[in-house]
A and B are shown apart, each in its own frame.
Chain A
Amino acid sequence: MTTKKKRSPHTDNDSWVVIAPDSALDTGRSKEGDPSFIKLKNPATGSSSLYLFGSGDVSLYEVKAFSEDFRSWFIGQTVQRDGRLLYVTPIDPLFLLLPYIFSAATEGKFQQVEQMVMDEDYPGCTRLLHCTQGMNSLHHVADEKEVGGLKFHRYNQEKTLEWLKKKVHRTVSTLKKSNISVGGGVKSSMFIRVKQEDAKEEDYLRYAHGLISEYINEDLSKDLLKHLQLPEISSPKETEPPSKKRKLSDKPVEAGEDYTKFNSADFARKPPKKMTAAQKSLAKVDKTGMKSMSSFFSPKVKQEKN
C-alpha cells in the first residue's frame, strides 16, 4: 500500500513560525536599527548558532527550534513544509562574552573588552559590546581596573564559578516553581507524576548544572560541578564492561559446533554403505531421463544425470 516515497530536497522557506517576547520585536527607536538574526559562536559547542539582537543591539536572544519529525504548518492559505516552531528567548549576553574574555586571559594582562571580543569567524560578535546587560555584569567573571576613565578587565575563574553557582541555584528554584521532573527515572516531559515527586536536592542541582552547561564549555562545566561539590557521575558508556576480544591468530576461525556435517552434501562424500538386495536391484534400473528428487525442490540444482 505504502510505496517508498522520495523526500524532495529541502527548499528555503520565506516564512517561519516564531514565538518571541514583545521586547525582542520592539522596533521603537527607529534610529538604532531593527532586530536582526545573527550567527554567533555558541559558547558551549564552539560551533555557530543563531541568535537575535534586539533593536539597537541592547539585548540578546537565543533561538531554539522545536523540531519533530513529520510536522508541517498550514499558514493562512499556504502550506509550509518546515514544521518547526522557533522560540526566541532572552539570554544573558555574558555567556557569549565569556569565551572571549577567557581566551584573552592566557596573556595574563588586563585588557579592554573591545580588544578581547574580536573574532574573524564571527565578526558580528562585536555587537555584543552594545548589550548593556552583558557589559554591566563583566565584574561577575573578571577583575576590573579603571585607568583614566577607561575600563580594563582580566578573566577570573573564582568569580566566574561563583557567578555560575548563583545561576545554578536560581535555576533550581525556577525548576521547583515550574514543577519540572528532574529525577533520574523520568524520561519524558509528558510524564506526570500523581504523587508529589520526592526529588532530592542533589537531583535538582545536577539538573540545573546540566542546563547551565548548555551555555558554557565542557571544561568549565566540569569545574562548576566540583565547585558545586557534586561528584562526577561516570557516564554509562564508561561503566560498560570492556568488550571481549577474540584472540587473534593466524588460524582460520572455526565454529565451536559444526552443524553442517549432517548436510546431504557431506553424506555424498562418505563411502557407500553396503546395499540390501532390493537396493541393489533398484540401482540396476535404467535411470536415463530421470531427475533426482531434490531437483524438484530447488531450481538451482544441476542435473547430474541426463
Chain B
Amino acid sequence: MRVNQRNVFSTHYMDLSDFEADNSVSCRLSSSIPDVCKTEDCCLGIDEAGRGPVLGPMVYGICFCPVSKKEDLKNLKVADSKTLTEAERENLFLKLDEAKTFIGWALQILSPNTISTSMLQRAKYNLNALSHDAAIGLVQYALDCGVQLKEVFVDTVGPAEKYQEKLSQRFPGVEVTVRPKADSLFPIVSAASICAKVARDHAVKSWKFAEDLGDVDTDYGSGYPNDPKTKSWLLKYLDPVFGYPQFVRFSWSTAQTLMDSKAVAVHWDDDEEDGEKAAARQNNTSMLSYFSRSKPSELTHTRDTHRFFTERKLQSINTL
C-alpha cells in the first residue's frame, strides 16, 4: 500500500512526463515562481544528484526562497539528501512543494545520452564543464523569471575557489558561496539536493527505454559502477554492434571497458593511433624512408592518380 501511495504522490507532485516524452535530451522542470521571490531579496541553493552512476540521468537542482524565510526552511528540517531514506526524501519534497508560497525550485535533467554525446564528441566537453553550465543555466533561469537573487550557495564541482570565481564573474551583483559539503551546511542547498535526488530516483525507476528491448529487466541496482547488479545488467544488455541502450553513459570507463572486450571494434577517425600505424593504414610513406639512400619503389614508379579522382576519394578496384 505504501508503495502505491508513493507512486501517486510522485506522479502528482513531480511530473516527469516532459522528460519522459524524450529522454534522450536535456530537460528542464520547474515549479511556479512564488510572487514573494520577485519582490524580496532571495537566496538560492544548487546541488546535483547522479554524478557517479553509469546509468541514468544526472540531475541539477536549484531551490530558492526569500532571505527572510531562511528560518522557515530550517523548520522543514531539510537535510543533506544522502543522510535521508528515500521515503524521507519524498516526504521532504512534498513539504517543499507545499511551501510554494515562498519556495521555488527548478531542475535540469541531463539525460545519459546528453552526457555520453558531450563527453565523447570531437571537442571533448567534460563532466565538470557540463555541470557548471547546467548550474549557470539554472541560475540564469531564476534571474530571467524575475527572482531577486542576492545569495547563491553551491556545493562545489572541482576546485571551490575557481568555481566561485567563475560564478561570481558570470553573475555580478550576486554573492556566490561555493563550499564543499554545502548540502549539509546550508538548508537551501539541502532543499535543492532533495529536489534533484527525487527527480533522479523517479527518472531511473520509470525509465522508458527508447530501444526495443522486449521485457526489460529493470533490476539494475544502484547504477553505480561498483554495484554487482549494475555490472551484470550492463553485461546482459550489451549489444555487439550498438553497445548499450541510451540509458547507459557510454563515456563511463565501466561501459567502455566492457564494450572494448565484448563488442565489435568500432574505429572513428579521431581515434588515437600510433603515427606509424596510421601512416601504414593511409598508405603514407614513413618519414624514415626519405632518409634512406634509395626511395621506396612505389614512389618512383607508379603514376599518381589524377586529382579529380583523389579529391573525390575514387579509386579503381580489382575485386569486390
Q: Do A and B bind each other?
A: yes
Q: Residues on A close to B: CB < 8 A?
A: 1-8, 13, 16, 37, 39, 42, 44-45, 47-50, 62-70, 79, 84, 86-87, 180, 187-189, 207, 210-211, 213-214, 218
Residues of A within 8 A of B265 (CB): 5-8
Docked-complex contact B309 and A64, CB < 8 angstroms? yes
Are A69 and B281 also in contact (CB < 8 A) when A5-B265, A47-B318, A49-B318 are?
yes
| Residue B298 interfacial (CB < 8 Å) | no
- Asked if A188 and B308 make an inter-chain contact with CB atoms under 8 angstroms apart, the answer reads no
Q: How far is the CA of A214 from the CA of B315 in the complex (A)?
A: 11
- Check if B306 sits within 8 Å of A66, measured CB to CB: no
Most chain-A Cβ atoms within 10 A of its Cβ — which of B282, B312, B313?
B313
Contact B316 A50 (CB under 8 A): yes
Contacts of A214 in B (CB 8 A): 305-306, 309
Residue of A nearest to B274 (CB): A4
The prevalent SS among residues of A at the interface is loop
**Is A2 a contact of B311 with CB atoms below 8 Å?**
no
Kindly state the separation between the CA atoms of A69 and B279 in the bound complex, as whole angstroms.
Answer: 12
SS class, residues of chain B in contact with chain A:
loop
Q: Give chain B residues whose Cβ lies under 8 Å from the Cβ of A42.
A: 316
Q: In the bound complex, how far is the Cα of B269 from the Cα of A210, in angstroms?
A: 31
Binary contact readout B285-305 vs A (1 if CB under 8 angstroms, 0 otherwise): 000000000000000001101
Chain B 267-286, CB-CB to A under 8 Å as 1, else 0, gives 11101111000000110000
From B253, B282, B320, give the contact of A37 (CB < 8 A). Answer: B320
Tell whether, in the assembled complex, residue A70 and residue B269 are in contact, meaning their CB atoms are under 8 Å apart.
Answer: yes
Assembled-state Cα–Cα distance A4/B267 (Å): 10
Tell me the minimal C-beta distance from A60 to chain B in angstroms: 14
Minimum CB distance partner of B256 in chain A: A1
A-B complex: 7 closest residue pairs judged by Cβ atoms: A189-B311, A5-B265, A70-B269, A210-B306, A49-B316, A64-B314, A48-B318
Contact of B317 among A4, A5, A64 (CB under 8 A): A64
Tell me if B241 is interfacial: C-beta within 8 Å of chain A.
yes
Nearest-neighbor residue (CB-CB) of B253 within chain A: A1
Q: How far is the CA of A37 from the CA of B320 in the complex (A)?
A: 9
Given contacts A44-B303, A69-B281, A187-B311, contact A63 B317 (CB under 8 A): yes
Report the minimal beta-carbon distance from A7 to chain B, rounded to whole angstroms. 7
The reply on B307 being an interface residue by CB < 8 A is yes
Nearest to B307 among chain A residues (CB) is A210
CB <8 Å contact, B311 and A188:
yes
Bound Cα distance from A36 to B313, whole angstroms: 25
Q: A66 to B312, Cβ gap below 8 A?
A: yes
* Cβ-closest chain B residue relative to A16: B320
B268 touching A50, Cβ below 8 Å: no
Residues of chain A within 8 A of B308, CB atoms compared? 180, 207, 210-211
Out of B253, B282, B317, which one reaches A50, CB within 8 Å?
B317
Report Cα–Cα, A9/B23, bound state, in Å. 38
